[in-house]
Structure 1
Amino acid sequence: MKTLGLSAYYHDSAAALVIDGEVIAAAQEERFTRRKHDAAFPMRAVQYCLEQAGLQMDDIDHVAFYDKPLLKFERLLETYLAFAPRGYKSFAQALPIWLNDKLFLSNLLKGELAQFGDRALGDDRLLFTEHHLSHAASAFFASPFDEAAVLTIDGVGEWATTTLAHGKGSDLKILREIHFPHSLGLLYAAFTYYLGFKINSGEYKIMGLAPYGEPKYAQLIREHLIEVKPDGSFRLDLSYFDYCTGLTMTNERFDRLFGAPRRTPESALTQREMDIAASLQQVTEEVMLKLTRSIAKSTGLRNLCLAGGVALNCVSNGKILRDGSFEHLWVQPAAGDAGGALGAALAVQHMYKGVPRAALGERTDLMQGALLGPSYPQAECEARLHAAGANFVVLDDEALLDRVASAMADGKAIGWFQGRMEFGPRALGARSIIGDARSPSMQSVLNLKIKYRESFRPFAPSVLKERASEWFDLEADSPYMLLVADVTERRRHELSEAQRQLGGLEKLKLCRSEIPAVTHVDYSARVQTVDARTSPRYHALISRFEALTGCPVIVNTSFNIRGEPLVCTPEEAFRCFMGTELDLLVVENCVLMREDQSPALRIHYADELEAD
């Protein structure tokens, strides 16, 4: 059975193809259109999925959409009625969009998909799953577990903002829900807005900023903004927020509570913003731990799956794992709305049509390392690079690994483009920028001269799976960079008393460990464990680097610049190379040196970048 899953019209549109329980292909539309978080119908992602499987649209048995628009419209109407007459301006803006497009989404989808084939897309072929069920299905059915508790947390779906489900075999049942407007995801988004970052994009900046601050406002948040019960269920005091009916996330009462208006985007960050970020992160972790402890106690289950945008909070994930309420934790790598496309397809296959789950064999899960996007054969890469005006040499595998490992050891920053593109927000060694984790300057070089982003943002380590516990306090695998763990004590550097007293961004200057480029100011790291079976060339490269330096850890960050999606094609990799200070670009077996490129192809767009 062939099922095409879709998510669209909010943010991070995507398409995913599942055949007989196997995940064949998945990609976000942004990677093709180059519009970050593109919400449009995923035309090119659909085309890619069909081409990857050698199928036509007429071959598809079912198309599954990741939420139910009528339930969302019900929530919109009931919310505005509940708050009337407040919010009329917001209601007047939203209603025409719904009446023209979203309310009749079935017809809109049928029209978009009609261009891919002649076979009529009747109501028996076009199916809709509830938003949080899509999230839950993306986590459980792709996981290694035959039975597990499934927790999904995001901003809001139709009504649900948090759900608990029980998955067993090919069955998945929602057991409990927390409904809008009470939402941990929207609380986090409100602070993202208040601190001057982009909603649905800048939340991870809060997580990265938090270790620079102290949780001085945590009690204020607990007393005024969120009431948390012992079982982790919660309610928000809506008098501080404007997202139900307004055009902003917070209001003047929120400003008064924190003693100042919203930070102007792109303005200088102060210790106050860092302390607020630390406070929000602490409260978020408390809620997550109470929820997971309660779920473990009430279900008696030992496996936990996570999905929804809040599941991308890898600091919380790491604490859930270390807490020990569950023995095993698995997080969907495309935990946000993009992953809903995959979940919708899996839900239709297993729950609606009764397709058995695919056997794992020697695989750790069904996600193929999240390497589900397009790839480009060597000959095509060469042709595309030649057409773009690039100068390069082609090396065999051994020479390539030697060249790149040596370049990293020499302090070079490298664009690494290999195999199938990642699905989800993390670069995992296919579309990555890599460097030497031992370099004290690599973190600032990558942030300021290559990524063109804020200096405080940390970078992740890629470590050989078999060496991970020697460098990080991590006993589990973390293939998708969704767990934070501390650098082990024996790899840390002792700080003087004066150094420990430094505050704010002054902490950035300190060399805390043997791998300072990936050690955050609180000694933590967002770890990716690299498995030779899933990522053989990436594993071989890190192994070669270890043979050269004795260190099995390298820096890994996404191959893009601020405000742009991850690169998808060889041309995009070359363009990013020519617009940054990267020293070396590797596209499959093609190696490009900066000094060999024509100065006429240099791109100067650092000052024109959008905020991310």
Structure 2
Amino acid sequence: MLVLGISAFYHDSAAALIRDGEIIAAAQEERFTRKKHDASFPAHAIRYCLEEARIANGSIDRVAFYEKPFLKFERLIETYLAYAPQGFESFRKAMPLWIGEKLFQRDLLVRELAEIAPGLGDKTLLRFSEHHYSHAASAYYPSPFQSALVLTMDGVGEWTTTSAAIGQGNDLKIIKELHFPHSLGLLYSAFTYYTGFKVNSGEYKVMGLAPYGEPKYAKAIFDHLIDVKPDGSFRLNLDYFSYCTGLTMTGAKFDVIFGGPPRKPDELLEQRHMDLAASIQAVTEEIVLRLTRSLAAQTGLRNLCLAGGVALNCVANGKVLRDGRFDNIFVQPAAGDAGGALGAALAVYHDETGADQHARPTSQPDAMSGAYLGPKFEQADIERRLTAAGAVFEIVEEAELISKTAAALASGQAVGWHQGRMEFGPRSLGNRSILGDPRSPTMQKALNLKVKYRESFRPFAPSVLRERVADWFEINSDSPYMLLVAGVKSEHCRKMSNEEQALFGIDKLNVTRSDIPAVTHVDYSARIQTVHHETNPRFHALISQFEKLTGCPVLINTSFNVRGEPIVCTPEDAFACFMGSEIEFLAVGDCVLHKDRQNPDLALDYKNAFELD
């Protein structure tokens, strides 16, 4: 049975295709259109999925959409009626779009699908899955577990903002829900907005900023904004928020509590903003821990699956793992709305077939294939594309490719690494990555300012050989998707002096805190990716060669893009980013490129090509 899953029309549109329960392909639309967080109908992503499965005529058995538009429309109407006449302006702006398009979304989907392939334009193929059920299915069915608690948390789906489900074999049932407007995701997004970052894309900046501050406002959040029960259930005090009635997240009362108006995006970050970030992060962690502890006690289950945008909070995930209520945790790598496309397809497949097993290769730890589910380019195609782009390159055997790239990294060069199938989800996991030497005390700042063109405080993740992770970090479990945070081992750390501890926020960034300072955050933590030979043998070989040269089985791994740009997809995208940034060495397939050998006329102004993300 072939099921095509789609998420669209809010943010991070995507498509995914499964065949008899096996995940064949999945990709976000932004990677093809080059428009970050593209919310449009994912026509390019769908075409890619069909091509990957070699389906020429669109002969799909089911098409699954990741949420139910009528329920979402009901929420919009009921929310307005509950607050009327407040919020009329936002209601007036939303209604034409909803009545003219979203209310008739089935027809819109059928028209768009028919344009891709006539066989897809059959209304009888179309199914709709509830938003949080799609999230839950995306986490449970690809997991390695035959039974698990499944917790989903985000801003809002149709009505649900948080759900708990139990998966047993093929059966997945939601047992508890929290509903809009009470939302942990929207609470976090309110602070994203208030600290001057973009909602639905800047939340990870708040998480990255938090270690530079102190949670001085956590008590104020608990006292005024949210009432949290011992079991983790909660209610927000809506007097402090504007998202139900206005076009912003917070209002005047919020400003009074937290010391002034929201920061503008171009204003300098101050210690207060770092303390606000630390505070909402601490509150989020406390709520997530209360939820997981109470659900573990209630269900007795020892496996946990996580999805929804809040599941991308890898600091909270790490604390849940260390809390010990669960033996194993699986986080869907595309935890946000993009992953809803996959979840919808899996939900429909299991619901309609009753298949009683998780389909995955026995050599893989889970059914996500390392999240390497996007396009791959054959070597001859790579050479043709690079030649057409004007690139100067040499073609080498794999052993030489590994050797040259490891040597470039050991010499301190920033390396672009474009290999195999593109990752699905927001993280680059060793196929569309910018790599660097984590031992360098200046590499974090240099990569942020000169390569990524973004804020200097932004942390980088270490990619470490799975078999060596416990030698370097306070964790000895799989973290293939860069969604768990753990401390750097004490034997690799250097204690900061009292003078260094007293430095202002971001000034601590320049203090060497460990043997791998470029991936060690100011609180001695790191967002870890374990690299497995089974899922990515070439990346594993590269890190192994780097260890032979340096004694360090760790590399800096950050997404192959600059600020505001989607992660690169094609060899041309990689070459353009290479020529538009200060990346010095590029490996695309078996092709090796050096910056100083390229035509300088092909250099691009990437620093100013994209908006702030």
Deviation at 1:503, TM superposition (A): 2.6
Give me the whole-angstrom Cα distance separating, in 2, the residues matched to 1:464 and 1:78: 51
Identity among equivalent pairs (%): 63
Q: How does 1:133-212 map to 2 (within 5 A)?
A: 133-212=133-212
**Amino acid of the structure 2 residue aligned with 1:256:** V
Residues 88-129 of structure 1: per-residue CA shift (max 9 Å, x gap): 001101111010000100000000001233337444310000
Report the equivalent of 1:498: 499
Any conservation in 2 of the 1:16–1:46 contact (CA below 8 Å)? yes
How far off its partner does 1:229 sit? Answer: 0.2
Relative distance call for 1:381 and 1:411 in structure 2 (3 A) is same
Residue 384 of structure 1: aligned partner: 385
Cα offsets for 1:223-256 (capped at 9, x unmatched): 0001100000000000100001211110111111
Matches within 5 A, 1:74-89: 74-89=74-89
Matched residue, 1:308: 308
1:446 maps to a residue whose letter is L
1:266, CA displacement in angstroms? 2.2
- TM-score of the pair, normalised by structure 2: 0.99
Matched, 1:529 2:534: no
Q: Distance between the aligned counterparts of 2:537 and 2:85, measured in 1?
A: 60
**Contact 1:584 1:594 survives alignment (8 Å):** yes
Distance 1:121 1:42 in 2: 15
Which letter maps to 1:370?
A
> Which residue does 1:40 correspond to in 2?
40
Which position in structure 2 is the counterpart of 1:469? 470
Alignment correspondent of 1:129: 129
Task: Please list every run of 5 or more consecutive structure 1 residues that lacks an aligned counterpart in the other structure.
Answer: none
Indicate whether 1:23 and 2:23 are aligned: yes
SS class of match (2:116): coil
Deviation string, structure 1 residues 466-512 (Cα, Å, up to 9, x no partner): 00000000121100000000000000012222112223111011000
1:66-465 alignment to 2 at 5 Å? 66-119=66-119, 121-357=121-357, 358-465=359-466
Counterpart check, 1:513 vs 2:508:
no
SS at the partner of 1:165? Answer: strand
Which runs of no fewer than 5 residues in structure 2 stay unpaired? none
TM-superposed deviation, 1:30? 0.1
Distance 1:56 1:346 in 2: 22
Kindly state the Cα deviation for residue 59 of structure 1 after the two structures are TM-superposed.
1.3
Specify whether residues 560 and 359 from structure 1 end up closer, same or farther in structure 2 by C-alpha distance, changes over 3 A only: closer
Q: Where in structure 2 are the equivalents of 1:538-577 lying within 5 Å? A: 538-577=539-578
Alignment partners' CA distance in 1, 2:440 and 2:599:
29
Q: Say whether the 8 Å CA contact 2:360–2:366 is kept in structure 1.
A: no
Q: Larger deviation: 49-58 or 11-20?
A: 49-58
Deviations 1:576-600 (A, max 9, x none): 0000011101101100001100010
Question: How far is 1:604 from its partner?
Answer: 1.7
CA distance in 2, matches of 1:500, 1:115: 60
Measure the CA separation in 2 of the matches of 1:498 and 1:360.
53
**1:400/1:282 CA distance change after superposition, 3 Å:** same
* CA–CA distance in structure 2, aligned partners of residues 203 and 58 of structure 1: 37
| Distance apart, 1:351 and its partner CA | 1.7
2:110, 2:123 within 8 Å by CA — same for their partners in 1? no
Cα RMSD (Å): 0.9
Conserved 8 A contact 2:43-2:116: no
Do 1:172 and 1:351's aligned partners in 2 also have CA atoms closer than 8 Å? no
One-letter amino acid matched to 1:428? L
Tell me: CA distance 1:47–1:319, structure 2 relative to 1, closer, same or farther (3 Å): same
**Deviates most, 347-356 or 513-522:** 347-356
Shift of the alpha carbon at 1:353?
2.8
1:148–1:301 CA contact under 8 A, matched in 2: yes
Shifted more, 335-344 versus 396-405: the winner is 396-405
User: For residue 210 of structure 1, what is the amino acid of its counterpart?
Assistant: A
> Which one is further off, 55-64 or 124-133?
55-64
Tell me, in whole angstroms, the C-alpha distance in 1 between the residues paired with 2:367 and 2:605. Answer: 41
Contact 2:492 2:514 in 1 (8 A): yes
TM-score where L is the length of structure 1? 0.99
Change (3 A) 1:57 1:307: farther
Alignment check: 8 A CA contact 1:462 1:530 kept: yes
Give the match for residue 588 of structure 1: 589
Shift of residue 361 of structure 1? 1.6
Task: Name the aligned partner's letter for residue 363 of structure 1.
Answer: Q
Amino acid at match of 1:290: R
Q: What amino acid maps onto 2:596 in structure 1?
A: E
Deviation string, structure 1 residues 253-284 (Cα, Å, up to 9, x no partner)? 11111120010112110000000000000000
Q: Which amino acid aligns with 1:522?
A: D
Partners of 1:559 and 1:438 lie apart in 2 by 20
Kept after mapping to 2: 8 A contact 1:57/1:116? no
Map of 1:49 onto structure 2: 49
The separation in 2 between residues aligned to 1:398 and 1:529, in whole angstroms, is 22
C-alpha contact (below 8 Å) 2:65/2:127 kept by paired residues:
yes
* Contact 2:66–2:131 (CA under 8 A) maintained in structure 1: yes
- Report the Cα offset of residue 607 of structure 1: 2.9
8 Å contact kept, 1:21–1:356: no
Deviates more, 1:270-279 or 1:121-130: 121-130
* SS of corresponding position for 1:5: strand
The residue matched to 2:391 in structure 1 has which SS? Answer: coil
Where has structure 1 moved over 6 Å in runs of 4 or more? none
- CA distance 1:321–1:120, change in 2 (3 Å): closer
- 8 Å CA contact 1:64–1:348 kept in 2: the answer is yes
Change in Cα spacing, 1:15 to 1:359, as seen in structure 2 (3 Å) is: closer
Q: CA deviation at 1:437?
A: 0.6
- The residue aligned with 2:6 is 6
The separation in 1 between residues aligned to 2:279 and 2:606, in whole angstroms, is 36
- The letter of the residue matching 1:129 is S
For residue 118 of structure 2, give the secondary structure of its aligned residue in structure 1.
coil
Paired residues of 1:152 and 1:163 also in contact (CA < 8 A): yes
Cα distance in 1 for partners of 2:344, 2:610 equals 34
Distance in 1 (alpha carbons) for counterparts of 2:386 and 2:270: 44
| Aligned length in residues | 612
Distance in 2 separating the partners of 1:338 and 1:120: 21
